[in-house]
Chains A and B, each alone.
Chain A
Amino acid sequence: MAAPIISIAKLSKRFSTRGRASIEAVRGIDLEVERGEIFGLLGPNGAGKTTTMRMLCTLLVPTGGTANVTGYDLMTQASEIRRHIGYVGQKGGMEPIATGRENLMLHAQLYRMSRTEAARRIDMLIERLQLAEFADRKAETYSGGQRRIFDLASGVINMPELLFLDEPTTGLDPQSRTRVQDEVRALNKQGTTIFLTTHYLEEADSVCSRVAIVDHGRIAALGSPAELKKQIAGDIVNLGYDDEEGVAAASSLMNGTRLVLESQRIGATLHLYVNRGDEALPEIMRILGQGGRPPKTVQLSRPSLDEVFLKLTGHALSESKKED
């Protein structure tokens, strides 16, 4: 088997802030990404996904660990790596006063392409991504979705083996999001390995071949979406109460019954992991009713990455604090 396109060991990044204690954004990540994958880093804002990606893209210098990207050492061969990767940051990076075509031309030429070679490549990308209508307008006039597709075009202008996408669909409307995801899959089919970050579970689930769940600068779980979901046996019953007191009472009623494999209390809801939700639910309702603690709301769900995330980290993805 060919060598992994990314292999990192104990990669870490500490930001020192003047006066205050330093922040450990990434605390020792070990990871291998194979050629041909669409690999996703999934986690809330502030989990360290973007920091990890920026280190792999040569934008940030790691404070610890080692990494090899596209066959080159991150610490000593950054300029070699830059030739072989593409990168689309969260902000994109187009000069707003220049047109889309002019932006692409500048980027292509900085990758040492000649003008004619670059023009040919740009025409090809504009046609393939259906950008002809906008290519000669200033980038500042583009909608979020149009800009993102141009960003993608810029990201692959040098025909990289490995394309990094930092939250490629954040802030886009559902239609544009689907469009971007389709293009990402298409690029992958043509042989580009994709490494992306996202805080959308559905995106990780539907786009990625493998996912690493990142929380507080560490990898909490790693595997294909199906493998990760398998970690949660059976179904989940979510019981909603008015307050945590209700949850505590219900929890003590339910624990000890053979039905419940595991339970988790999150705020005013109680999550029960059970083997067969359809059979367990009537029984659960009966026990709670007899105990005088019937729930206000009941929800039965199949395991999703959201549940995996919740189980692993003890907090929901959407509840996590801001800041990245």
Chain B
Amino acid sequence: MLRDTYLIMSNEIKVTFRNPFWIFHGLVQPLIYLVLFGPLLNGVASARGFPSANAIQFFAPGLLIMNALFSAGFVGFSLQDKVECGFLERLRVTPVRRVALAMGLILVSSIELLIQSTALVLCALLFGLRFDPWGGLLLVALILLIGIAMASTSFTLALLTREGGVLAGVTNTFVLPLLILSGVMLPVTFGPPIIQALARLDPFLYAVNAARALMSGAILDGSVAAAFVIFAALSVATLAVFIRGMREAVA
């Protein structure tokens, strides 16, 4: 099974990075947020009620979480391409373990996410970001958990919806509210009570708060434990569903 996973993964890596557009949608896009949106926040940072005087310190951790949400949340499209060209079907008639098919794809999406996150952090350092090394390491773990949960969800939706248009609609419908309510862009405390109540249902609110705490070195902050518990549970559950989807005779 390990060999199967390795074969699927290495093939996927080769194919992913051979695509010249990967640089654009994989790397440039997340950096655009940082470069264009970051400076805008500097103006807001002095506003009353804004939690941090330094905009980058507030914005960069959230951006890392947002990138995980977006990058992994849209990986399903690549799987639909594989269904469309018959690639997945071809693999499914070989004796390859179904778990290996799922794990290979998930691992590659995790590797992509690691590269993007590293690039984001390096870039944010230029903008004056400072972070606690231990907190940073824990944040990497949290980002990977988020990536697994989102990628598994997106892959599963890709298998269920079959069609790119439908997948795009479904994905946007749940990704956007998750993003807005997470307080990545602006603190949720700016909003009316109803929004604040809704935000409490958004797992990404806890992730963003945890990311900010971790970067500042507050490893023992309650938000950190909450985020880890939530996303560990979500990633296990969604991965199990995805593996089950791969086992069943889809595609």
Contact = CB atoms under 8 A, between A and B. Distances in A.
A102 B14 contact: yes
Interface of B: 3-4, 7, 11, 14-15, 18-19, 82, 84-96, 248-249, 251
Nearest to A86: B93
* Most A Cβ at <10 Å: residue of B11, B85, B90, B251: B90
A58 interface: yes
B95 A91 contact: no
22 contacts: A58-B92, A58-B93, A59-B249, A82-B94, A83-B95, A85-B93, A87-B90, A87-B93, A89-B86, A89-B90, A91-B86, A92-B86, A93-B85, A95-B11, A95-B82, A97-B18, A98-B14, A102-B11, A107-B91, A110-B4, A110-B96, A158-B94
Nearest to B86: A91
A92 B251 CA distance: 13
A109 interface: yes
A59 B18 contact: no
Nearest to A79: B95
A91 B84 contact: yes
Interface string A52-78: 000001111100000000000000000
A102 B96 CA distance: 17
A188 interface: no
B90 A92 contact: yes
Contact of A57 (B14, B85, B93): B93
Interface residues of A, number: 30
A106 B93 contact: no
Contacts of B7: 106, 109-110
Contacts of B93: 57-59, 82, 85-87
A298 B46 CA distance: 91
A62 to B, nearest CB: 10
Interface in A78-119: 79, 82-83, 85-87, 89-98, 102, 106-107, 109-112
A98 B11 contact: yes
A85 B249 CA distance: 17
Contacts of A83: 95
A59 B89 contact: yes
Given A60-B249, A106-B11, A110-B91, A93 B86 contact: yes
Contacts of B18: 97-98
B90 A82 contact: no
Nearest to A96: B85
A154 B89 contact: no
B90 A93 contact: yes
Contacts of B15: 95, 97-98
A94 B14 contact: no
B15 to A, nearest CB: 5
A111 B95 contact: yes
Contacts of A87: 90, 93
* Most A Cβ at <10 Å: residue of B88, B91, B249: B249
Contacts of B85: 91-96
A112 B89 contact: no
A61 B86 CA distance: 18
Interface in A121-167: 154, 158
B86 A107 contact: no
B107 to A, nearest CB: 16
Contacts of B87: 93-95
A196 to B, nearest CB: 15
Contacts of A110: 4, 7, 91, 94-96
A110 B98 CA distance: 12
Contacts of B14: 98, 102
